[in-house]
C-alpha cells in the first residue's frame, strides 16, 4: 500500500530529515512510527500523504510514484488519506458540522449522501449532539475527536495521525487508542507517529523506529 | 455534472454571504471600482453624443464638378450618364451655366459687375452627394472625377470633415488611454482585496490543500468574489454616469433653449451597457485570478 525505497528528504538549507529510508506498509496494518523528536517522524508522514516530495528515492502510494506525480494530481493522492494533525488544524470560524463537511465538499459529494456521512462520522466519535457548537467551545479531547471525524468522514483507506495523544490526559488517550483500533479492525490502514509508550503497549502495533533520519529497527 | 453545478452554486452563495458580512468594506471597494469606470465611461458618452450630433446637424460634404467652358451639351450628357450609373453616389444636381449666372446676379448683388462682363464666365456644374461621407471615400470620388473627360476642376469641401474626424480620433484615444489606465486600477484593486482575503483565510486554505483540495477548488470562491465585485462596480459606474447625465441634461435643456436648439445627452445603449458590465466582471475576475495564483504558490509544499 505504501512503500519507500532509498528515500532521502533534504530541506532547503541542507538539513537532511530522512536518509535512505526503506519501508513497506501492507493494507490493513497498524504501524507506529516512533523515535525522538527531530528523528524525522513528521517528515515521513508528510511524504506518505503526498504533502511533500522526496529529494531522492521513490515513495509509492497505491502504486503511484509521489515523487514524479504532476502537481495537479497530488490532491487526488491525498484523498486516499485521513489526516490527523498534531495541532488539529480545525477551522474556528465554522461549527462542528461544517468542519466535518469540508472534505466532502472538496471531493464533491452529493448533498444528501454527504449529510448522512457527516452524521455517521460524528456519531462514531460521540459528537452527534454538538453539531452546531463552535470548536472553541469544545474541550481538548472533543477537539481531538472532531479532528478524527473530519479525517475519517470520506472513508479513507489510510489514516495518518501525527502525535494524536500529545495534548491529551491519559483517560482521553485510552479512548482515542480504542477508536483507532476500531478503525483498524474494519480494514483501515493506520499509521501513527508517536512517542507515547503507553499507547504502544496497549495497541501492540508493528513499530518502525527512526533515529536521526534512519530506520533503526 | 449535477454535483459540479451544485459546487458552483454553493460557492456563489458563499461569495454573496462573504460580501454581505463586511458591508462597508465591500461597498467602498465597489464604489472605488465604480468611480474608476465612470470616468472613461463619461468621456466615451460625450464622444458618442458629439459624433451623432455632428452627423445630424452638419451638412453632408459635397463634391462639386466644374466642366470646361468649351464643353458641349453632349459632353454634359456624358458626365450626367456616368454620374447616374455610379454606385457610390446618393444624388446629384445639375447646375447649368446660365442658371448659375442668374443665381449669382440675384444673390450677390453684383448684377452690374456681371452685366459688364462680355459673356458668361461660369461653367456648367454638378453638385454630388456621396453615399458614404468618410474622407477617404470622398477623396477617392474626387480623384475619379478628375480623370473624366472635359472636367476642368473638382472641388471637395472636406476640411471640416477632416477636422471633425481628427477631433473625434483624439477623443477616442483619450478614452482608450484613460480606460486602459483605469482598467489597470480595477485589476489592482481586486488583486489587493483578494490578497487580504487570502491572508485572513490562510488556515482554511492550508487545511483544504492538505486534505486534497485542487487549486481550482481553492481559487473558485475568490475568483467569483472578484468577478462579482467587478460586475457591481460596473453597475455602480453606470449609475454614476446616469445620475450625472440627468443633472447635466436639465441644465443643457435650459441652455439649448436659449439658442433655440434641442440638445440631450443619451446614455449607453443596451448592448454597450451589457459589454461594460461584462468587461468590468472580466477585469475583476482577472485581478482575483492573478492574486490567487500569485498567493497560492506559497501554500505549495514543493
Cα gap B273→B235, rounded to integer Å = 9
pLDDT at residue B52, rounded to an integer: 78
pLDDT at residue A151, rounded to an integer: 93
CA-to-CA dists, residue A40 to A87, A174, A210, B301, angstroms: 17, 25, 7, 17
Q: For the residues B103-117, what does the mean pLDDT come to?
A: 76
In a domain, A212, yes or no: no
- B211 in contact with A at a CB cutoff of 8 Å? yes
- B6 in contact with A at a CB cutoff of 8 Å? yes
| Residue numbers in A near B213 (CB within 8 A) | 75, 106
More confident residue, A209 or B258: A209
Helix and strand numbers (H, E) in chain A are 7, 10
Among candidates A53, A89, A108 on the partner chain, residue whose Cβ is nearest the Cβ of B7: A108
pLDDT at residue B302, rounded to an integer: 47
- Residue of chain A with shortest Cα separation from B205: A91
- 3-state SS assignment for residue A59: strand
Q: B210–A92: do the CB atoms touch at under 8 Å?
A: no
At residue B165 the predicted structure's pLDDT band, cuts being 50, 70 and 90, is: confident
Can you list the domains of chain B with their CATH numbers? Answer: 2-57+163-299 (no CATH), 62-157 (3.30.70.3040)
Instruction: Kindly tell me if the per-residue pLDDT of B169 is higher than 70.
Output: yes
Residue with cell 469641401: B157
Q: A89–B204: do the CB atoms touch at under 8 Å?
A: no
Q: B211–A111: do the CB atoms touch at under 8 Å?
A: no
Q: A76–B212: do the CB atoms touch at under 8 Å?
A: yes
In a domain, A193, yes or no: yes
Q: Please say whether the beta carbons of A46 and A18 come within 8 A.
A: no
Instruction: Kindly tell me if the per-residue pLDDT of B69 is higher than 50.
Output: yes
Q: B214–A75: do the CB atoms touch at under 8 Å?
A: yes
Instruction: Kindly tell me if the per-residue pLDDT of B204 is higher than 60.
Output: yes
- Residue of chain A with shortest Cα separation from B216: A72
- 3-state SS assignment for residue A190: strand
pLDDT tens for each residue of B209-224: 888 888 888 888 899 9
User: How many angstroms away from the CA of A201 is the closest CA of chain B?
Assistant: 30
**Considering chain B, what is the average pLDDT of its residues?**
84
Instruction: Kindly tell me if the per-residue pLDDT of A201 is higher than 90.
Output: no
pLDDT at residue B56, rounded to an integer: 67
Q: Which helix (H) or strand (E) holds A80?
A: none
- B216 in contact with A at a CB cutoff of 8 Å? no
CA-to-CA dists, residue B221 to B14, B28, B201, B225, angstroms: 8, 20, 12, 6
At residue A108 the predicted structure's pLDDT band, cuts being 50, 70 and 90, is: confident
pLDDT tens for each residue of A122-181: 998 889 989 899 999 998 888 989 999 999 999 999 999 998 888 778 888 888 889 899
Q: Round the CA-based radius of gyration of chain B to a whole number and report it.
A: 32
Q: Please say whether the beta carbons of B30 and B233 come within 8 A.
A: yes
Q: A107–B212: do the CB atoms touch at under 8 Å?
A: yes
User: How many angstroms away from the CA of A153 is the closest CA of chain B?
Assistant: 12
- B302 in contact with A at a CB cutoff of 8 Å? yes
Q: B3–A109: do the CB atoms touch at under 8 Å?
A: yes
Instruction: Kindly tell me if the per-residue pLDDT of B300 is higher than 80.
Output: no
State the count of interchain CB pairs (< 8 A) between A and B. Answer: 59
Domain range for A110: 28-51+75-206
Instruction: Kindly tell me if the per-residue pLDDT of B71 is higher than 50.
Output: yes
Instruction: Kindly tell me if the per-residue pLDDT of B208 is higher than 70.
Output: yes
In a domain, A11, yes or no: no
**Which residues, 6+ apart, have CB-to-CB distance to A140 below 8 Å?**
A167, A168, A172
Highest mean pLDDT among A148-152, B76-80, B166-170: A148-152
Instruction: Kindly tell me if the per-residue pLDDT of B248 is higher than 80.
Output: yes
pLDDT at residue B57, rounded to an integer: 63
Q: A78–B215: do the CB atoms touch at under 8 Å?
A: no
Q: For the residues B261-289, what does the mean pLDDT come to?
A: 87
At residue B80 the predicted structure's pLDDT band, cuts being 50, 70 and 90, is: confident
User: How many angstroms away from the CA of A76 is the closest CA of chain B?
Assistant: 6
Residue with cell 448592448: B271
Cα gap B229→A107, rounded to integer Å = 28
| Residue numbers in B near A156 (CB within 8 A) | none
Please tell me whether the overall predicted TM-score, pTM, comes out greater than 0.80 for this model. no
Neighbours of B280 (CB within 10 A): 27
Three-state SS annotation for chain B: CHHHHHHHHHHHHHHHHHHHHCHHHHHHHHHHHHHHHHHHHHHHHHHHHHHHHHHHHCCCCEEEEEECCCCCHHHHHHHHHHHHHCCCEEEEEEECHHHHHHHHHHHHCCHHHHHHCCCCCCCCEEEEEECCCCHHHHHHHHHHHHCCCCEEEEEECCHHHHHHHHHHHHHHHHHHHHHHHHHHHHHHHHHHHHHHHHHHCHHHHHHHHHCCCCHHHHHHHHHHHHHHHHHHHHHHHHHHHHHHHHHHHHHHHHHHHHCCCCCCCCCCCHHHHHHHHHHHHHHHHHHHHHHHHHHHHHHCCC
In a domain, A18, yes or no: no
More confident residue, B55 or A203: A203
pLDDT at residue B125, rounded to an integer: 87
- Residue of chain A with shortest Cα separation from B297: A71
Q: For the residues A43-59, what does the mean pLDDT come to?
A: 90
pLDDT tens for each residue of A187-199: 999 999 988 888 8
Q: B203–A92: do the CB atoms touch at under 8 Å?
A: yes
At residue B85 the predicted structure's pLDDT band, cuts being 50, 70 and 90, is: confident
How far separated are the first and last CA of chain B, in Å rounded?
32
Instruction: Kindly tell me if the per-residue pLDDT of B4 is higher than 80.
Output: no
Q: B302–A53: do the CB atoms touch at under 8 Å?
A: yes
In a domain, A14, yes or no: no
In a domain, A85, yes or no: yes
Q: Please say whether the beta carbons of A142 and A131 come within 8 A.
A: no
pLDDT tens for each residue of B132-157: 777 778 888 888 888 888 888 888 77
| Number of domains composing chain A | 1
pLDDT tens for each residue of B222-246: 999 999 999 999 999 999 999 998 8
Q: Which helix (H) or strand (E) holds A196?
A: none
| Residue numbers in B near A93 (CB within 8 A) | 204
pLDDT at residue A153, rounded to an integer: 93
Please list the residues that pair with A82 across neighbouring strands.
A159
Q: Please say whether the beta carbons of B135 and B60 come within 8 A.
A: no
pLDDT at residue B129, rounded to an integer: 82
Cα gap B65→B156, rounded to integer Å = 9
Residue with cell 448522512: A116
Instruction: Kindly tell me if the per-residue pLDDT of B12 is higher than 70.
Output: yes
Instruction: Kindly tell me if the per-residue pLDDT of B301 is higher than 80.
Output: no
pLDDT at residue B283, rounded to an integer: 93
Instruction: Kindly tell me if the per-residue pLDDT of A118 is higher than 60.
Output: yes
| Residue numbers in A near B9 (CB within 8 A) | none
Instruction: Kindly tell me if the per-residue pLDDT of A116 is higher than 90.
Output: yes
Among candidates A76, A83, A93 on the partner chain, residue whose Cβ is nearest the Cβ of B210: A83
In a domain, A216, yes or no: no
Q: pLDDT over 90 for what percent of chain B?
A: 17
| Residue numbers in A near B208 (CB within 8 A) | 102, 106
Q: pLDDT over 70 for what percent of chain B?
A: 93
| Residue numbers in B near A51 (CB within 8 A) | 210, 301
Q: A106–B213: do the CB atoms touch at under 8 Å?
A: yes
At residue B158 the predicted structure's pLDDT band, cuts being 50, 70 and 90, is: low
In a domain, A2, yes or no: no
Q: A75–B207: do the CB atoms touch at under 8 Å?
A: no
Q: A53–B301: do the CB atoms touch at under 8 Å?
A: yes
- Residue of chain B with shortest Cα separation from A153: B211
Interface residue of B212, B221, B302 to substitute, partner A, most A CBs within 10 Å:
B212
At residue B58 the predicted structure's pLDDT band, cuts being 50, 70 and 90, is: low
* CATH, residue A36: 3.40.50.300
Amino acid at each position: 500500500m505504501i512503500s519507500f525505497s532509498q528515500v532521502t528528504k533534504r530541506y532547503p538549507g541542507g538539513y537532511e530529515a530522512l536518509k535512505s529510508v526503506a519501508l513497506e506498509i501492507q493494507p490493513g496494518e497498524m504501524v507506529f512510527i516512533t523515535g525522538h523528536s527531530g528523528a524525522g517522524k513528521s517528515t515521513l508522514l508528510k511524504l506518505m500523504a503526498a504533502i511533500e516530495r522526496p529529494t531522492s528515492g521513490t515513495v509509492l502510494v497505491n502504486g503511484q510514484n509521489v515523487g514524479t506525480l504532476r502537481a495537479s494530481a497530488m490532491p487526488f493522492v491525498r484523498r486516499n488519506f485521513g489526516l490527523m494533525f498534531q495541532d488539529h488544524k480545525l477551522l474556528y470560524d465554522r461549527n462542528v458540522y461544517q468542519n466535518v463537511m469540508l472534505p466532502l465538499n472538496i471531493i464533491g459529494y452529493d448533498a444528501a449522501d454527504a449529510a448522512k456521512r457527516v452524521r455517521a462520522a460524528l456519531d462514531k466519535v460521540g459528537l452527534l449532539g454538538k453539531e452546531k457548537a463552535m470548536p472553541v467551545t469544545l474541550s481538548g479531547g472533543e477537539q481531538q475527536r472532531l479532528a478524527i471525524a473530519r479525517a475519517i468522514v470520506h472513508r479513507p483507506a489510510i489514516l495518518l495521525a501525527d502525535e494524536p495523544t500529545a495534548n491529551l490526559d491519559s483517560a482521553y488517550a485510552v479512548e482515542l487508542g480504542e477508536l483507532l483500533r476500531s478503525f483498524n479492525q474494519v480494514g483501515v490502514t493506520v499509521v501513527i507517529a508517536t512517542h507515547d509508550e503507553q499507547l504502544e503497549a496497549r495497541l501492540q502495533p508493528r513499530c518502525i523506529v527512526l533515529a536521526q533520519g534512519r530506520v533503526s529497527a | 455534472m449535477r454535483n459540479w453545478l451544485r459546487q458552483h452554486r454553493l460557492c456563489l452563495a458563499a461569495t454573496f454571504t462573504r460580501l454581505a458580512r463586511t458591508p462597508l468594506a465591500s461597498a467602498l471597494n465597489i464604489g472605488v471600482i465604480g468611480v474608476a469606470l465612470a470616468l472613461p465611461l463619461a468621456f466615451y458618452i460625450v464622444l458618442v453624443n458629439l459624433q451623432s450630433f455632428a452627423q445630424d446637424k452638419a451638412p453632408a460634404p459635397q463634391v462639386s464638378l466644374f466642366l470646361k467652358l468649351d464643353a458641349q451639351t453632349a459632353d454634359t450628357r456624358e458626365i450626367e450618364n456616368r454620374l447616374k450609373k455610379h454606385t457610390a453616389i446618393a444624388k446629384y444636381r445639375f447646375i447649368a451655366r446660365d442658371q448659375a449666372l442668374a443665381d449669382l446676379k440675384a444673390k450677390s448683388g453684383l448684377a452690374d459687375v456681371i452685366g459688364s462682363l462680355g459673356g458668361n464666365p461660369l461653367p456648367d456644374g454638378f453638385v454630388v452627394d456621396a453615399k458614404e461621407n468618410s474622407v477617404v471615400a470622398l477623396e477617392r470620388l474626387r480623384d475619379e472625377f478628375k480623370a473624366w473627360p472635359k472636367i476642368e476642376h473638382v472641388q471637395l469641401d472636406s476640411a471640416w470633415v477632416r477636422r471633425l474626424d481628427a477631433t473625434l480620433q483624439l477623443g477616442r484615444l483619450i478614452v482608450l488611454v484613460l480606460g486602459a489606465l483605469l482598467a489597470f486600477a480595477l485589476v489592482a484593486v481586486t488583486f489587493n482585496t483578494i490578497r487580504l482575503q487570502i491572508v485572513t483565510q490562510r488556515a482554511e486554505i492550508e487545511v483544504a490543500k492538505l486534505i486534497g483540495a485542487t487549486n481550482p477548488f481553492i481559487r473558485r470562491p475568490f475568483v467569483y468574489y472578484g468577478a462579482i465585485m467587478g460586475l457591481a462596480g460596473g453597475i455602480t459606474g453606470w449609475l454614476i454616469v446616469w445620475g450625472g447625465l440627468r443633472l447635466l441634461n436639465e441644465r443643457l435643456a435650459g441652455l439649448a433653449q436659449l439658442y433655440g436648439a434641442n440638445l440631450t445627452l443619451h446614455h449607453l445603449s443596451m448592448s454597450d451597457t451589457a459589454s461594460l458590465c461584462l468587461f468590468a466582471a472580466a477585469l475583476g475576475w482577472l485581478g482575483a485570478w492573478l492574486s490567487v495564483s500569485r498567493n497560492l504558490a506559497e501554500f505549495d509544499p514543493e
